[in-house]
Amino acid sequence: MIGRVFNGRYKITERIGIGGMAEVYKAQDQVLGRTVAVKVMLPQYAADSEFTARFKQEAASAANLQSPYIVNVYDWGQDEGTYFIVMEYVRGTDLKSAIQQRGAINQRKVAEIGSQVCQALSVAHGQDIMHRDIKPQNIMVQPDGNVKVMDFGIARAKNSVKAKTSSVLGTAHYISPEQAQGKELDGGSDIYSLGCVLYEAATGQLPFDGPDAVSVAMRQVNEAPLPPSQVKPDISPDLEAIIMKAMEKNSYNRFQTAREMKHALDDFLMGRPVAGVAGAMSSAPTAVMGGVAPMAMGEPGGTAVMPVVNPANSGSMQPTSFRMDDDSKKKSNKKTIGIVVGLIAGIIAIAAVAMALLGGGEAKVPDVMGQTQESAVKAIEAAGYVVGDITEEFDAETVAGRVCGQDPGADTPLEKGQKVNLVISKGVENGSIPNLKGMTAEQAEKSLKDAGYTPQYAGNEASDADKDTVCKQSPESGTQADKGTTVKYWISTGPEDIEVPNVVGSDQASAKSTLEKAGFTVNVATGEYSDKYPEGQVMSQNPNGGKLAKGETVTITVSKGEDPASKAINIPSVVGMASADAQSAIANLDLRYNVIEAPSDQPKGTVIKQSPTSGQAKKGDTITITVSSGPASNPGGNGQGNGNSGNSGNSGNGGDESDESQD
């Protein structure tokens, strides 16, 4: 697999992991020039239509999840029958390795990790997607201490789960009781799994262990975990209470949302009182959660669906229940109850007489903050007040459906019969993250704060965006996110300087294409004649080498080819030709001629000699021809020419046979 390039883009460089369904490789994105992780489905599953559909579902689901605490999915596809997903490459180590190396982790760090995983789950659950395999192996701890949840490989949209595929998937040490029983799941299952993870991180020990997956799953269903403080005595009671509430067997007793659990962890980190968790986990035996569930074995990577059994009689595999009384104590219990009831009745009677004697008077308004609307109304009416206006508003600190405000406030003296107004939380307001591209840092900060988000400068980065403006943001603009979500932004340092390719010697078209692909603007200049560079070939460039900012201009100078004046010309033989014809032949070759007359036996005007007689000449060179003036005995002359007579030139004009030679 090493060296293979998927879809002509992602070049595999090394293997970094293997799971139940796929191998994960480090790769180079050759288009964007960044390191990515590529998950490749194992060959034995590629032909399985169900696993193929699940693999595609992972990509489709995860690609829609935008959170700083979720590994980003960039791309996915198929290459020569191999399915692959391209993800963000996360540097760091998984939480399981950290626990194995160090043992128990600092409890504040445990709470920070839990809070960030809750934030990731809140985003997923908000899109009706459950992870189904929360475990420390799927939580990457980055060098900066932040975490990213990865491997939504068995996550799926809740509404798309079919009966066949709803059987248990996950790791036995971290699955919820309902997941172990093959029941329909909701977000509470992920909360339970996270509780198991935090238990292990805080104590260095698994909450349940056993010789095989079946025995571990049985314990998940039927046993309460040992409180973390009994494993690690110095653990905070508040953190222990949060973990134990998350691990309640009955999902109704757990945190109802990942955001609610996040608030509890944040309260712990901020040193605030952690409400609603103390004593959440009963030490009493756990009631059976339904009857015997069918056994579903054999899904790769999966855990068997477990029946509920009596741990004391596990061989019978029969449903059981637990009783809180026995016959030997029934009488004494009844007697005790009668005494208690009598005392309570007496107290109520005394209180009623006192109220009748003292009148309604003033009392203090009860504290109903954080309660459900129903319980708050009951508490107010029980205190002798009337519930007034009930309004709703967004409140990031209070779970939706619970009281986030009351007027008058708690413990305010108020005459009975007066109204107490309530404000019910609508939870965290959700909105669309604004587009920061092109803004200055100051503008981006203001835009995010005005929209209700928390800005975070993430550094500088070379880009095509104008210098000192936002070139990148995370999450991207348009993403639906809770108000208060942190939005990171990067400031452009301008285009990145790029190495200028050397195109000297290339033809004009190729040189221009090479430079433009590298990101430069090309200017073409016409050069001089050249014996070295043929016509149309780049003879020089400016700059030649070095680096330039993307978009800068590179000038290439193109050769005009060989200088015609330096081109070799074969000297023609004109001896025997008439003078006029010889002169024309020489002139047509861009040569010059010089005519000399001399007596000879040849007819007058016939070329009797030339110099040079053969070889090569250059444009403008002179050929001397000797033309017969007739026999020497002819009257009117002594047979000697004056020499050097005639015209010469490139025009091809014949000489006028005068005594002067023209060059």
Q: Give the C-alpha separation, 149 to 90, whole Å.
A: 10
Q: What is the pLDDT of residues 33-77, one digit of tens each?
A: 899 999 888 877 777 777 777 777 767 777 778 888 999 888 888
Compute the average pLDDT of residues 464-473.
Answer: 90
Q: With beta carbons less than 8 A apart as the criterion, state whether 297 and 217 touch.
A: no
Q: With beta carbons less than 8 A apart as the criterion, state whether 380 and 368 touch.
A: yes
Q: Which helix (H) or strand (E) holds 242?
A: helix 237-246
**pLDDT in the model for residue 196:** 97
Query: Is residue 646 pLDDT above 70, yes or no?
Result: no
Domains of the chain: 5-236+292-313 (1.10.510.10), 362-425 (3.30.10.20), 430-492 (3.30.10.20), 497-562 (3.30.10.20), 568-662 (3.30.10.20)
Buried b (16+ CB within 10 A) or exposed e, 270-287: eeeebebbeebbeeeebe
Q: Give the C-alpha separation, 158 to 453, whole Å.
A: 29
Q: What is the pLDDT of residues 474-504, one digit of tens each?
A: 889 888 887 878 899 999 988 777 889 999 9
Q: Give the C-alpha separation, 123 to 214, whole Å.
A: 32
Q: How many Å is the Cα radius of gyration of the chain?
A: 46
**pLDDT in the model for residue 319:** 32
Reading the block at residue 454, the tokens are: 């928390």
Beta bridge partners of 87: 37, 73
**pLDDT in the model for residue 83:** 86
Buried b (16+ CB within 10 A) or exposed e, 160-169: eeeeeebbbb
**pLDDT in the model for residue 63:** 77
**pLDDT in the model for residue 541:** 94
Please state, in angstroms and as integers, the Cα–Cα distance from residue 269 to each residue in 114, 191, 239, following that order.
Answer: 11, 19, 9
Beta bridge partners of 18: 23
Q: Share the mean pLDDT of the chain.
A: 79
Answer with the residue of higher pLDDT: 308 or 534: 534
The model's pTM is 0.46
pLDDT band of residue 632 (cuts 50, 70, 90) is confident
| Known binding-site residue numbers | 39
**pLDDT in the model for residue 295:** 33
pLDDT band of residue 421 (cuts 50, 70, 90) is very high
Q: Give the C-alpha separation, 245 to 356, whole Å.
A: 43
pLDDT band of residue 464 (cuts 50, 70, 90) is confident
Going by C-alpha positions, the residue among 451, 430, 466 that lies closest to residue 126 is 430
Three-state secondary structure call for residue 183: coil
Please state, in angstroms and as integers, the Cα–Cα distance from residue 572 to each residue in 604, 608, 651, following that order.
Answer: 21, 14, 17
Residue among 133, 190, 267, 482 flagged as catalytic: 133
Q: What is the pLDDT of residues 354-365, one digit of tens each?
A: 443 344 456 899
Q: Give the C-alpha separation, 487 to 154, whole Å.
A: 28
What residue ranges in 296-400 does DSSP mark as E strands?
362-364, 386-393
pLDDT band of residue 633 (cuts 50, 70, 90) is low
The total of other beta-carbon atoms located within 10 Å of residue 154's CB is 20
3-state DSSP helix/strand/coil % of the chain, to nearest 5: 30, 25, 45
**pLDDT in the model for residue 278:** 59
Answer with the residue of higher pLDDT: 78 or 553: 553
**pLDDT in the model for residue 155:** 46
The total of other beta-carbon atoms located within 10 Å of residue 263's CB is 23
Answer with the residue of higher pLDDT: 522 or 82: 522
pLDDT band of residue 170 (cuts 50, 70, 90) is low
| Known binding-site residue numbers for ATP | 39
Q: What is the pLDDT of residues 208-240, one digit of tens each?
A: 998 888 889 999 999 999 999 999 999 999 999
Reading the block at residue 295, the tokens are: 């056994």
Is residue 241 packed enough to be buried (19+ CB in 10 Å), middle (13-18) or exposed (0-12)? buried
Annotation says 327 is catalytic: no
The total of other beta-carbon atoms located within 10 Å of residue 310's CB is 16
The full DSSP string for 354-368 is: HHHHH-S-EEE----
Q: Give the C-alpha separation, 261 to 277, whole Å.
A: 10
**pLDDT in the model for residue 495:** 77
Q: With beta carbons less than 8 A apart as the criterion, state whether 117 and 149 touch.
A: yes
Q: What is the pLDDT of residues 571-588, one digit of tens each?
A: 999 999 999 999 999 999
The full DSSP string for 458-518 is: EEEE--SSPTTSEEEEESPTT-EEETT-EEEEEEE--SPEEEPP--TTSBHHHHHHHHHHT
pLDDT band of residue 20 (cuts 50, 70, 90) is low
**pLDDT in the model for residue 361:** 59
338-352, 373-387, 538-552: the lowest-pLDDT one: 338-352
Query: Is residue 3 pLDDT above 70, yes or no?
Result: yes
- In the chain, the N- to C-terminal Cα span, in Å, equals 78
**pLDDT in the model for residue 183:** 87
- Which residue has tokens 């300087």? 497
Q: What is the pLDDT of residues 510-566, one digit of tens each?
A: 999 999 998 889 999 999 988 889 999 999 999 988 888 878 899 999 999 887 777
pLDDT band of residue 657 (cuts 50, 70, 90) is very low
Q: With beta carbons less than 8 A apart as the criterion, state whether 489 and 434 touch.
A: no
Q: What is the pLDDT of residues 143-169, one digit of tens each?
A: 888 999 987 645 443 334 333 333 334
Is residue 561 packed enough to be buried (19+ CB in 10 Å), middle (13-18) or exposed (0-12)? middle
Q: State whether the Cα torsion 639-643-646-652 is positive or negative.
A: positive
